[in-house]
Structure 1
Amino acid sequence: MGAMKTPGVYIVEKNAFPNSVVEVATAVPAFIGHTQMADNRSKPLSFKPWRISSMAEYHQYFGFGPNPRFNIVEKTDPSALADFKAAGKDNKSTEYVLEQPAGKDGGRYTLYNAMRHFFQNGGGPCYIVSVGDYESDLDPDKFNRGIDELLKEQEPTMVLIPEAVLLKQPECIALQQSMLQHCGDKMKNRVAILDVWGGDKPRNDPGGDPIDLFRNSLGINFLNFAAAYYPWLNTTVVGDKELSYENIASADVLQLLLRNELSLPETAPDGAALRDKEQIQAIADISKDWTKVEPAPSDDAILANKALLNKTLSTISPLFNTVMDLVKGKLNLMAPSPAMAGIYTMVDNSRGVWKAPANVSLSGVVSPAVTISAVDQEDLNVTTQGKSINAIRTFIGEGVLVWGARTLDGNSLDWRYINVRRTMIMLEESCKLAAKALVFEPNVANTWVTIKGMIQNFLTSIWKRGGLAGAVPEDAFSVHCGLGETMTPDDILEGILRVTVLVAMVRPAEFIEITFQQQMQKS
């Protein structure tokens, strides 16, 4: 206080306690990808990280999902589709497959369904970076720009690009390397969750082992800031009611499904009269372009005709139902990173960031795309190159479980486990933000005691919650700060205040060994 010049009583208040360290959020993923729109009351949100907390908010700012379109092509000759009906009925030797063109031609954008799967698995607040709409092609440069936009945001703790696997393999790897550099070099306060390109294929696939291809291409930089999961997942995100004949790209295929099919029943299952064949085929003829109808029908009439056509196809054409099942299976085959971001969030909220996000079941998942045994997982989990890939496996009576908790830097004793890396990020960021209050304070013993007590109180609370290992706080952590201890007189002259924090991190019991041995009979 100022000098006392007037006689009287003066009150002096002194702080009895140091500032507190507030634990930062640990599960705030940032998703980068294509959206239907990016608008906030006429203010564009393109390439602007925007925070949401539910799918309702996603719909408000970014719209809904794309309309995926599939072609039906010969497996041996993708350029030809002579007669799908004849092939399906008569020529059993010809095999046809569904093909979804990438980008706008096939509506192949996966961010919307990825977000649905994220929230289905316990996801919470997150950031969306829209890099284009459904009329834009998949462009690695746009994804990289979206990554750069996250440099301005401090809150995100995870980075995901679900649509990276839709790019060509070299472009996907280059984009994932950019994610690693962003997390490990530029920000150092977040991790990347990566998908294996071609992760829906087994390791003995004739086209090559997707795991070896991933490991050989990714490089070795900043591996401790990322985790990868294999295989992809067969999910239930997309339901039957979301699909219709409009998911078939070719109008010719639609006609072939109708022409010469089983004889039409007189009534539909619900008793409503069906149109005759000529009327149904007329609807099919114009189903892709309602502007050709004279006079122009109302929107309700268009919806009614579309519903009638779809219902008719479902009733009279088993082949159409088979195609729709295949379409649903294709759309529900998803990369695992969005679901894992949801698992991270759920585990952080229920147990804490120090709990490994493993031995946890996945919601909305029927099965992994590739079945992995314990022997198969050996090379995934422990390898001489150190690039550990976390497996997602099916267990009888338990369902689909996450069965791995390692970073890509699997040979590092410091950063082998993803929960250790994420816990350390949380401790570092929490202490960093709290210490900003002491910048430009006198570099003297009082300040040293304040910052030391502040960090000790914070680490004690983390230890009590099970976040640090040790029977007593002294075993779990120690904080050092002071002249002759962490600083030299030259440091003080340079304006440097050094604090050293030692913490005993909690590591998962990845391998449990129970030893049995016979003993002599005693009675």
Structure 2
Amino acid sequence: MPEYLTPGVYVEETSFRSRSVEGVPTSTFGMTGRTAYGPVPYTLPDGTRVLPAPTLVTSFTEYERAFGGLQIRGDECQLAYGARAFFSNGGRRLYVSRVFPFVETAGPAPVIDAGANFASLDLPAPGAPLLRWRARWPGSAGAAISVAVTMRRGKNAVTTGAGGTPQLTGVQPGAAVEVVPAAGGGRPTTIPDGRLPTPANVRIVARQADGTLGYRDGQNVRPVAAGTAAFHLTLAVTVRSGDRVDTYNELELDDEHPRALAHVLQAADPADEFSMVWYQEVDPPAPQPAPAPGARLAALLGTGRGEFLFLGGGGDGTPLTAADLKGRTADPDNLARPALGLGALAEVEDISIVAVPDTVTLGLADQKTAVDDLIGHCQDLRYRMAIVDPPRDSSLSEVRQFRAQFDTKYAALYYPWVRITDPTRRPDPGVPVRLLDLPPSGYVAGIYARSTIERGVHKAPANEVVLGINDFTTNVTYGRQAVLNPEGVNALRFFEGRARRVWGARTMSSDPEWKYVNVRRLFNYLEASIDRSTQWAVFEPNNERLWASIRQTVEDFLIATWRTGALLGTKPEEAFFVRCDRTTMTQNDLDNGRLICLIGVAPTYPAEFVIFRIGQFTADARRN
């Protein structure tokens, strides 16, 4: 109990209600795989370290800004098409963990080969560059990026202070100025529009020991000379890639300024999270001095007409493998080895649905390994459901053979693939429409999310329309589904007048308790919600008061869940029970600090087979 040492009146707040359990999100989707561009952890040989976490996007427009388009060197980007399908079918939150198999230099300690992975542009010329524009992320898409730099010249920053002493105003330390002789006879100093600064006249503003501003001269600061004018020079950088154009205005040349080019467009944690390029000043070989600010400015501006210059080089790494998709967990002893692939998605708690569309790009043996890794990921984290894609062009027998290799309650398989109109081709009346065959995981994930948002996690994500497709690659008939359904292969079917629908809700488990997807996801929801919301009980006194509080907390949550229709029973006693008392714990448990709460729930199962029995009877027959 609290200590009371000094006589007085003490007013204290207390609570007379049980703690509540907040339901966890169950519609957040996570994917890992190759993308055209975008965030991926890396460390360059020069020590530049960029370590982004999986990126959250809430629309396909955001996805395109972060990870590029639908193609990688002319091939379909399966993850991009999966993201597009997810959002078109009602999904709202997607985490993407990009996988990029870097090309590394050979040697005893391999490091990333910057030239083989990252596009770049040396200025003023390759061979002896003063500065370099680098693609911020690896990939051949970096070679489609172009950069243009323009300059704006401000008004004269030199004024006359007390005693006729010239001083700088309106600029900060680190600003670049052009110093020219002042006009005589009281006439204003002017510079013709469009004239580039003379490199020798460019100075960097710095603060003197007395607090006034001057010009940096090596390690020293020179005062402002009388009879001079200084014009503030600011930069605007425009970065273009396809239809995307990013503009960064009011940038400064020197690192000392908070709006310095090297700060706003730095590699790690820039002002724009999804900036496409970063700015690097190249250190000259010893013992050459660092380039003067005027030389750097001249290299940036070129002819001064703001031409767009393309980056060059870059690549898409080595061929993708199942090990790349699995990735790794973060090394706690080495910050340069962050989590990758599925290991990176493991660090995001909100994810409840996971898919890896790139498994279909692997050979059958590697695809089986990658699906095993995906299932293992969901089993280890317990509160996730995997959506598995069948191999490309699978026949009925082939998809059954593929399904027979797995037995898990944490994954579901959907068949067949879907067919869409190629969105990257412009329509031409004289040319047949080009069609694409895509794996169904992105579409099914969107239906999972849509069903959860509209009805709840307890509703089976089936008998739902698949949006944004032309057809299925294979027509699954009534008779064919009679073979697939008992084996846990969920069919995608077309019904005349009722569109194309998901027509199955089974997991890949042989355990009849976990036959249905919605039952597994309902328990994921219940377990994760109780897990997160009862952490307050750890290290509380393990006695009857705590047991009663735990019971009340869980019962209140389950009553709210029962009222949504997620549990069977006409009253709470029929839907669930919660026990946390001496019947669930022995003295040995108490002595070892264990609190055991036993919870039983009666989930609702989908009406998979709706049966009406109809028979004839005579008019005078009696009915019981």
Does TM-score exceed 0.5, indicating one fold? yes
Q: Does 1:365 align with 2:469?
A: yes
For residues 317-328 of structure 1, the aligned pairs below 5 Å read 321-322=431-432, 325=433, 328=434
Equivalents in 2 of 1:52, 1:406: separation in Å? 29
| TM-aligned CA distance change 1:63 to 1:46, over 3 Å | farther
Equivalents in 1 of 2:321, 2:50: separation in Å? 18
Equivalents in 1 of 2:608, 2:49: separation in Å? 47
TM-score (norm 1): 0.71
Q: Which residue of 1 aligns with 2:395?
A: 202
| TM-aligned CA distance change 1:437 to 1:375, over 3 Å | same
Equivalents in 2 of 1:210, 1:124: separation in Å? 34
For residues 35-434 of structure 1, the aligned pairs below 5 Å read 35-39=35-39, 48-66=53-71, 104=73, 106-132=74-100, 133=139, 135-136=316-317, 137-145=319-327, 146-184=341-379, 186-198=380-392, 200-203=393-396, 209-216=397-404, 218-220=405-407, 223-236=408-421, 238-239=422-423, 242-243=424-425, 321-322=431-432, 325=433, 328-329=434-435, 332-383=436-487, 388-409=488-509, 411-434=510-533
- How far off its partner does 1:152 sit? 2.0
Partner-residue secondary structure (3-state), 2:75: coil
- How far off its partner does 1:413 sit? 2.2
Structure with higher Rg: it is 2
- How far off its partner does 1:107 sit? 2.3
| TM-aligned CA distance change 1:52 to 1:522, over 3 Å | same
| TM-aligned CA distance change 1:438 to 1:519, over 3 Å | same
Over residues 398-419 of structure 1, what are the superposed CA-to-partner deviations in whole Å (9 max), with x where a residue is unaligned? 010110000011x422100000
- Check conservation: 1:479, 1:502, Cα contact below 8 A: yes
**Where in structure 1 are there 5+ consecutive unaligned residues?**
68-103, 204-208, 245-310
How high is the sequence identity, in percent, across the aligned residues?
Answer: 31
Q: Does 1:504 align with 2:602?
A: yes
- How far off its partner does 1:194 sit? 0.2
Comparing 460-469 with 346-355, greater Cα deviation is found at: 460-469
Equivalents in 2 of 1:180, 1:114: separation in Å? 19
Which residue among 585, 588, 593 is the counterpart of 1:490? 588
- How far off its partner does 1:440 sit? 0.5
- Check conservation: 2:39, 2:98, Cα contact below 8 A: no
| TM-aligned CA distance change 1:8 to 1:406, over 3 Å | same
Over residues 69-92 of structure 1, what are the superposed CA-to-partner deviations in whole Å (9 max), with x where a residue is unaligned? xxxxxxxxxxxxxxxxxxxxxxxx
- Check conservation: 1:47, 1:130, Cα contact below 8 A: no
Q: Which residue of 1 aligns with 2:106?
A: none
**Where in structure 2 are there 5+ consecutive unaligned residues?**
43-47, 101-138, 141-315, 328-340
Which residue among 535, 538, 546 is the counterpart of 1:439? 538
Over residues 180-235 of structure 1, what are the superposed CA-to-partner deviations in whole Å (9 max), with x where a residue is unaligned? 11111x1111011001113x3432xxxxx32133034x243xx1000000001112
Equivalents in 2 of 1:46, 1:176: separation in Å? 26
- Check conservation: 2:88, 2:467, Cα contact below 8 A: yes
In structure 1, what residue type is equivalent to 2:324? K
Partner-residue secondary structure (3-state), 2:96: strand
Equivalents in 2 of 1:362, 1:18: separation in Å? 43
Equivalents in 2 of 1:413, 1:158: separation in Å? 22
Over residues 407-460 of structure 1, what are the superposed CA-to-partner deviations in whole Å (9 max), with x where a residue is unaligned? 011x42210000000000000000011111110000011111111111110011
In structure 1, what residue type is equivalent to 2:412? A
In structure 2, what residue type is equivalent to 1:202? S
Pairs aligned (count): 389
Partner-residue secondary structure (3-state), 1:214: helix
Equivalents in 2 of 1:26, 1:3: separation in Å? 44
Partner-residue secondary structure (3-state), 1:23: coil
Equivalents in 1 of 2:325, 2:382: separation in Å? 20
- Check conservation: 1:46, 1:129, Cα contact below 8 A: no
Over residues 68-122 of structure 1, what are the superposed CA-to-partner deviations in whole Å (9 max), with x where a residue is unaligned? xxxxxxxxxxxxxxxxxxxxxxxxxxxxxxxxxxxx5x52422112211110000
- How far off its partner does 1:125 sit? 0.6
- Check conservation: 2:41, 2:51, Cα contact below 8 A: no
| TM-aligned CA distance change 1:44 to 1:359, over 3 Å | farther
Q: Which residue of 2 aligns with 1:474?
A: 573
Runs of 4+ residues over 6 Å off in structure 1: 40-47
- Check conservation: 2:36, 2:77, Cα contact below 8 A: no
- How far off its partner does 1:151 sit? 2.4
